[in-house]
Structure 1
Amino acid sequence: MIRKRLRTLSLLTALSLSLVSVVTACGSNENGNSGSSASSSSPSATTSGAMGSKENVKLKFTYWGSPQEKKAIEDAIKAFEKQNPNVKIEGLHIPGDDFLQKLNAMVAGNEAPDISYSGSWKLKMGEEGLIYNFNDLMKDDPSIKKDDYLTYAWWNWDKDKSAGPFQASVTPSLMYNADMFKDAGVNPPPTKAEDAWTWDEFVAVAKKLTIDQNGKHPDDPGFDSKNIKQYGVKYSLGWNGYMPLVLSNGGDYLSADGTEFGLSKPEATAAIQKIADLINVDHVAPSPVQASSIPAPATALQSKKVAMVVDGSWNHLDLSKTKLNWGVGVLPILKDYKTFFHGGSLVIFKSTKHPKEAWEFSKFLTDPNNVLEMHQGLWMPQLKKWYEDPALIKKWASEELPGRPAGFQEAVMKSTYEHEVPSPENNVKNFVEIDAAVGPALDQVWLGKKTAEQAMKEIESKVKPFVKGTYLK
Structure 2
Amino acid sequence: MRKNTGRTRLMLLFLLIMALLVTACGAGGNNANTKADTSQENNQEGNSPASGDTGTAAGEKVKLKFTFWGSPQEKQAVEDAIKAFEAKNPNVTIDSIHIPGTDFLQKLNAMIAGNEAPDLSYSAAWKLKMGEEGLIYNFFDLMKEDPSIKKEDYLQYAWWNWDTDKSAGPYQASVVPSLMYNADLFKEAGVELPPTKAEEAWQWDEFVETAKKLTLDRNGKHPDDPGFDPKNIKQYGVKFSLSWLSYMPLVLSNGGDYLTEDGKEFGLSKPEATEAIQKIADLINVYHVAPSPVQASSIPAPATALQSRKVAMVIDGSWNHLDLSKANINWGVGVLPVLKDYKTFFLGGSLIIFKSSKHPKEAWEFSKFLTDPENVLELHQGLWMPQLKQWYEDPKLVDSWANEELPGRPAGFQDAVMRSTYEHAEPSAENNVRNFVEIDAAVTAGLDQVWLGTKTAAEAMKEVEAKVKPLVKGTYLK
Shared topology, TM-score over 0.5?
yes
**What is the one-letter code of the residue matched to 2:383?**
L
Distance 1:215 1:116 in 2: 48
> Partner letter of residue 138 of structure 2?
N
2:172–2:371 Cα contact (<8 Å) kept? yes
Distance 1:139 1:43 in 2: 11
- 2: CA distance, partners of 1:94 / 1:375: 21
1:467 aligns with 2:472: yes
Displacement, 1:56?
Answer: 2.2
Is the CA contact 2:433–2:475 (under 8 Å) kept in the aligned structure 1?
yes
Residue 435 of structure 1 corresponds to which residue in structure 2?
Answer: 440
Give ranges in structure 2 of 5+ residues lacking alignment: 1-16
Please say if 1:359 is aligned against 2:390.
no
1:82 aligned residue:
87
2:383 aligned with 1:397 = no
The DSSP-based 3-state class of the residue aligned with 1:327 is strand
* 8 A contact 2:54–2:360 mirrored in 1: no
Corresponding position of 2:21: 14
C-alpha contact (below 8 Å) 1:39/1:132 kept by paired residues:
no
Aligned to 1:5: none
Residue 273 of structure 2 is aligned to residue 273 of structure 1 = no
Q: Which residue of 2 aligns with 1:122?
A: 127
- The answer to whether structure 1 residue 406 and structure 2 residue 411 are counterparts is yes
Residues 46 and 355, structure 1, Cα contact 8 Å, conserved in 2: no
Shift of 1:47: 2.4
2:49 corresponds in structure 1 to 43
Distance 2:404 2:474 in 1: 40
Is structure 2 residue 329 aligned with structure 1 residue 328?
no
Q: Distance in 1 between matches of 2:111 and 2:18?
A: 18
- C-alpha distance in 2 between matches for 1:313 and 1:44: 34
Higher mean C-alpha deviation, range 424-433 or range 38-47: 38-47
Match of 2:387 in 1: 382
Deviation at 1:35, TM superposition (A): 7.0
Question: CA offset at residue 46 of structure 1?
Answer: 4.6
Cα separation, 1, equivalents of 2:311 and 2:93: 46
C-alpha contact (below 8 Å) 2:73/2:323 kept by paired residues: no
Q: Is 1:97 aligned to 2:97, yes or no?
A: no
SS in 1 for 2:87: helix
Query: Are positions 1:235 and 2:235 aligned together?
Result: no
2:375 alignment partner, SS class: helix
> Is the 1:50–1:356 contact (alpha carbons within 8 Å) kept by the matching residues of 2?
no
Secondary structure in 1 matching 2:117: coil
Conservation of the 8 A alpha-carbon contact between 2:266 and 2:469: yes
Alpha carbons 1:36, 1:130 under 8 Å: kept: no
Q: Write out per-residue CA displacement over residues 329-353 of structure 1, whole angstroms, 9 at most, x where no aligned residue.
A: 0000000000001010000111112
Deviations 1:284-330 (A, max 9, x none): 11111111111211111111111111111111111101121111000
Paired with 1:217 and 1:314, the residues of 2 have a C-alpha distance of 31
Between stretches 253-262 and 287-296, larger displacement belongs to: 287-296
Q: Distance in 1 between matches of 2:22 and 2:167?
A: 22
The structural deviation recorded for 1:48 is 3.9
Cα shift at 1:283: 1.1
Instruction: Report the 3-state secondary structure (helix = DSSP H, G, I; strand = E; otherwise coil) of the residue aligned with 1:75.
Output: helix
Question: What's the secondary structure of 1:370's corresponding residue?
Answer: coil
Give the fraction of aligned pairs with identical amino acids, expressed as a percent. Answer: 77
For 2:427 and 2:100, locate their aligned partners in 1 and report how far apart those are by CA, in whole Å. 27
Superposed, 1:277-292 pairs within 5 Å as 277-292=282-297
Of 154, 164, 180, 2:159 maps to: 154
Q: Distance in 2 between matches of 1:16 and 1:350?
A: 27
Between 366-375 and 149-158, the greater mean CA deviation after superposition: 366-375
Shift of 1:228: 1.5
1:250 aligns with 2:255: yes
| One of 256, 259, 277 as aligned partner of 2:264 | 259
TM-fit CA distance, 1:258? 0.2
Unmatched tracts of structure 1, length 5 or more: 1-9, 26-32
1:459 partner SS: helix
For 2:103 and 2:178, the matched residues in 1 are separated by 26
Amino acid at match of 2:139: F
How far apart are the structure 2 equivalents of 1:303 and 1:105? 37
CA distance in 2, matches of 1:139, 1:162: 13
Contact 2:69 2:101 in 1 (8 A): yes
- Would you say the 8 A contact 2:47–2:53 is kept in 1? no
Moved more, 272-281 or 317-326: 317-326
What residue in structure 1 maps to residue 302 of structure 2? 297
Amino acid at match of 2:311: V
Tell me the residue number matched to 2:14: none
Distance 1:111 1:11 in 2: 17
Distance change >3 Å, CA 12–CA 152, structure 1 → 2: farther
Secondary structure at the aligned position of 1:369 is classed as: coil
The worse-fitting range, judged by mean Cα deviation, of 34-43 and 64-73 is: 34-43
Work out which of the residue numbers 409, 412, 421 in structure 1 matches 2:426. 421
Asked if 1 retains the 8 angstrom alpha-carbon contact of 2:41 and 2:133, the reply is no
Using the size of structure 2 for normalisation, the TM-score is 0.91
Aligned CA RMSD, in angstroms, stands at 2.1
**How far apart are residue 378 of structure 1 and its match?**
1.3
Q: What amino acid is aligned across from residue 81 of structure 1 in structure 2? A: E
In 2, Cα distance between the equivalents of 1:383 and 1:49? Answer: 32
1:343 and 1:36 map into 2 onto residues whose CA distance is: 29
Find the partner of 1:370 among 375, 382, 385. Answer: 375
Question: C-alpha separation between the residues in 2 aligned to 1:15 and 1:286?
Answer: 29
Give 1:140 shift: 0.9
Aligned equivalent of 1:4: none
Contact 1:47-1:353 at 8 Å conserved across structures: no
Partner of 2:219: 214
Measure the CA separation in 1 of the matches of 2:41 and 2:78. Answer: 28
